[in-house]
Amino acid sequence: MRLRISPAVATFSVDILLTLGIALVAAWLLLRPLETRHVITVGANDRGVSGGLHEPEISASEGRPFRWTTGLATIRLAAMGFSNHSLGLRMSSAAGASSLLVSLNEKELATLAVTPAPRTYHLFIPAEWIRASGNTVTVRSATVQQPGDRRDLGVALFSVGLAALDAQWWLAPAQTAAITCATLLLLFTLRRLDAGRIRWLIAILFAAISLSMRHSDLRFNQRWEALLLTLGMAGVFILGLTLIRVSAPDSRLKQSSTGNRPPSTFNLQLSTLILYTLLTILLLAPLIPNPATHIPGPPGDNLEYVWKIQWFASALAERRSPAFVPHLFFPAGYELAYSELSPAHTLLGLPLTAVSGAVITYNVLIATSFVLTALFTMLLAERIGAGTFGAFIAGAGVGFCLWRYQHILGQMNMIGTQWVVLAIYGLEGFLRQRRTIDALLTGLGVALAAWSSWYYGPTLWLLLALWALLRWPWRETRAILAAWRPALAAPLVALALLAPYAHPTVQALRGGETRHDYAMLLLLSARPLDYLAPSRYHALWGGWAARVASDTAGAQLVAPGVSLLILAGVGLWRWRKQRVAWMLFTVGTASVVMSLGPELRVGDAVIPLPALLAYDYVPVLGSIRSWSRVALYAQICIGLLAGLGLAGFAQWRRPGRIAGAILVLGVVLEIMHAAPWHTTTGPRPVDRWLAQQPGRGATLEVPDSFAGPIEYYTLFSGHPSLTGYGTFEPAGATADMAWLREFPSARSVTTIQRLGGEYVLVQRDAMDRARPGWRDQAMQRPELARVYDDETYTVYQVRTLNVKR
């Protein structure tokens, strides 16, 4: 007799096999030695973790940085485990023996007699004194004043370190078990919600983001927090599963088809996909002459994102989290969460990166975003009632708009617009049909949009809330509330995919400044007339547009296109009796207002706008730097209204069809962008030279010392960098960064020395413009030796005179 396996058993078997596979990957990634010591080199990497210390200096006898303590100094150190620890302090006194008291977490450890000669002191710390959340070392001492120095000096503090005396062998197995159980619980919960096979994709994404963030960090305290977070999420999954199991299954509610058009067939969708792909190739081919060596746009943020794609692949291959970069902002390292992690590109692109490299992955992701944004917009337009032809034009108008084209030239984090449209598509579907799949798509779209950029994190939630409010079928409120079980899928998926991703971001930003200068907000906001400005990137009139609207660039490139705007007006008029048209108009108008930033200036009058309230009073929204990026939401609404305007096009009278055809041709013509820039991705001659130098001393590039290319070119030089790039500087780094930019001043050179810098790369032409006379100043610095010149760069090696290393 032939054994037959039911579909339910088969899919359950897949759940188990998938979970076992994730367990094996987790074990491979996590079962490796962790860091056992946390050492702070005082005066170098103590920024943001120390207090009660004077400005950094360099010791003539030690050849290393140090800082004098005041009467009370503190250093915060991370726990290396839950075992006994050893605390090491290297110190010296100002003159003669000096007595000081060392405490840990307000518990007295020892009274030490410190001598004028530098010496390292080791103190035993019992396990019960260690705090996983962080440990504060306090040094109390008497102070003296030296001749000619008004400072109250305690002791010279060179380094403070905390080391675990036993390995934390239990942690990696506990992490593996937690991720495995959480994944299995998520699968079971989604299975009870009738999620179908998409639950496997969601489970893989959950495991991938969990493992690539803090779980694979080499620092104990970060792994411990990740373990607690995963256990908490497992508890949420258990709660959700319990609620679903004990509740009575809700009846399936049939959605009214009023105002709907039947969705396009598979063949039609495939044809549309091919057309969008051909249009993408047409637009990008001139911009990327060789997709393996060139990327769109001038050198800038685009190189930063190529580096991030490669860094994710390299770090995970080394079985370490890419969320922390030890070779940027050396020697302290850089929490990448101060910038955009963009796992929608860096993490999801890993398979392609492993096969073809970061450059091809970067270009493929850009091309894919055009096609998917256009396709998802077309499906959304059909869902709200546009015909196939109108939906196609809506997809083209949104997918290939100027806003998107501007951002492919540098800001890759913003091109994940397809996920924004997917979230709206799911929400619109759920409000109509109350299906689990639509709720899943909403949650998945929200999560992947945030994975693309945190700009979409808070703003997309606001958009969806306004959309739901205006589209809410009030007569069916009871039916929608009764469908809470399928609705649960949206927040469940969003939580599963966003919590591990948000973890390092919350950690990084809670200790630093997250507000931008008000002037920066004004600079990166749109203006009303920008929505009508011609495209400076257009293949035909781009040069003319750049001349007549020279101040419309970058953040101001938000114009949706005149033809699309006219079609949107037609759609609003033809559908004026339908709620959907006024919903799109309201959401689009609100998006335009938000894109104008914190204020609108009309002559001498200054009109405060809603973004000002967000900047002043809303913590998360207050971190937004470029409000013009919200213009994407207006573009989507305008495109959808244009699609509605073309509904029933084949049945129009001849004059209407002619006018409509002219406008459609206008839409197609206006999306023909052709920016003249592309960037090569090979190493520079100076990078090849640096790679051949002995040692791995850190580098500094001036005058543009805070830029994306700095991160990228570390791939070739093999040297760490004293700086990096991101939305925010690391906590406490502001002073050092300001001093480094003063090169070749004495203070700048001293800062380079104490941070471990060895080479300064000077871009001569840019330096001549930014700091005339720098050559004469450099010649007067005996610590600088000119060791390299090419057509663009001069390199100085930083030497420390009369210092023992």
DSSP for 740-771, written as a single string: HTTTTSHHHHHHHHHHTEEEEEEEHHHHHHHS
The whole-number pLDDT of residue 767 equals 95
Residue 331 lies in a domain: yes
What pLDDT digit, counting tens, does each position of 104-122 carry? 999 999 999 999 989 999 9
The whole-number pLDDT of residue 5 equals 58
The whole-number pLDDT of residue 650 equals 81
Residue 647 lies in a domain: yes
| Residue among 391, 448, 444, 388 at smallest CA distance from 417 | 448
The whole-number pLDDT of residue 756 equals 92
Q: Do residues 443 and 457 both lie within one domain?
A: yes
What pLDDT digit, counting tens, does each position of 209-226 carry? 999 999 999 999 999 999
Please determine, for residue 102, whether its predicted confidence score (pLDDT) is greater than 50.
yes
380 contacts 421 by C-beta, under 8 angstroms: yes
Q: Can you give the length of the chain in residues?
A: 805
- Choose the final residue of a domain: 100, 133, 164: 164
Q: What is the mean pLDDT of residues 544-556?
A: 80
- Choose the final residue of a domain: 641, 670, 699: 670
Q: What is the mean pLDDT of residues 677-700?
A: 93
| Residue among 447, 526, 538 at smallest CA distance from 494 | 447
Residue 2 lies in a domain: no
Q: Do residues 494 and 391 both lie within one domain?
A: yes
Q: What is the mean pLDDT of residues 427-449?
A: 96
Q: Do residues 276 and 345 both lie within one domain?
A: yes
422 contacts 441 by C-beta, under 8 angstroms: yes
Q: Do residues 713 and 629 both lie within one domain?
A: no
Q: Which of the four pLDDT bands, split at 50, 70 and 90, describes residue 252?
A: very low
Q: Do residues 109 and 231 both lie within one domain?
A: no
606 contacts 497 by C-beta, under 8 angstroms: no
Residue 389 lies in a domain: yes
The alpha carbon torsion through 429, 433, 439, 440 (nearest 10 deg) reads -90
Residue 439 lies in a domain: yes
Amino acid 178 reads A
Number of domains in the chain: 4
Q: Do residues 426 and 546 both lie within one domain?
A: yes
The whole-number pLDDT of residue 1 equals 46
Residue 258 lies in a domain: no
CB burial of 570-599 (b: ≥16 within 10 Å; e: otherwise) equals bbbebbeebebbebbbebbebbbbbbbbbb
Q: What is the mean pLDDT of residues 516-542?
A: 90
| Residue among 238, 198, 590, 585 at smallest CA distance from 426 | 198
733 contacts 766 by C-beta, under 8 angstroms: no
Contacts of residue 734, defined as CB under 8 A and 6 or more positions apart, other chains included, come to: none
Q: What is the mean pLDDT of residues 586-609?
A: 93
* 11-20, 296-305, 446-455, 575-584: range with lowest mean pLDDT: 11-20
591 contacts 633 by C-beta, under 8 angstroms: yes
49 contacts 14 by C-beta, under 8 angstroms: no
Query: DSSP letters along 59-75, please?
Result: -TTT-SEEEEEEEEEEE
Contacts of residue 5, defined as CB under 8 A and 6 or more positions apart, other chains included, come to: none
Average pLDDT of the chain is 91
Q: Which of the four pLDDT bands, split at 50, 70 and 90, describes residue 248?
A: low
pTM: 0.93
- Choose the final residue of a domain: 645, 670, 695: 670
Q: Do residues 417 and 297 both lie within one domain?
A: yes
| Residue among 232, 620, 190 at smallest CA distance from 443 | 190
The whole-number pLDDT of residue 512 equals 62
Please determine, for residue 801, whether its predicted confidence score (pLDDT) is greater than 60.
no
Q: Do residues 29 and 43 both lie within one domain?
A: no
Q: What is the mean pLDDT of residues 273-277?
A: 93
Between CA 753 and CA 760 the distance in angstroms is 11
Residue 90 lies in a domain: yes
* 236-240, 421-425, 648-652: range with lowest mean pLDDT: 648-652
566 contacts 659 by C-beta, under 8 angstroms: no
Q: Do residues 722 and 632 both lie within one domain?
A: no
- 721 DSSP assignment: B
Q: Do residues 192 and 149 both lie within one domain?
A: no
Contacts of residue 153, defined as CB under 8 A and 6 or more positions apart, other chains included, come to: 54, 68, 69, 94, 143, 144, 145, 146
Please determine, for residue 258, whether its predicted confidence score (pLDDT) is greater than 80.
no
What pLDDT digit, counting tens, does each position of 492-517 carry? 999 999 999 999 999 887 766 677 88
Neighbours of 402 (CB within 10 A): 23
Q: Do residues 560 and 634 both lie within one domain?
A: yes
Residue 251 lies in a domain: no
CATH code assigned at 160? 2.60.120.260
Q: Do residues 695 and 733 both lie within one domain?
A: yes
| Residue among 306, 309, 385 at smallest CA distance from 346 | 309
Range of the domain at 464: 266-503+515-670
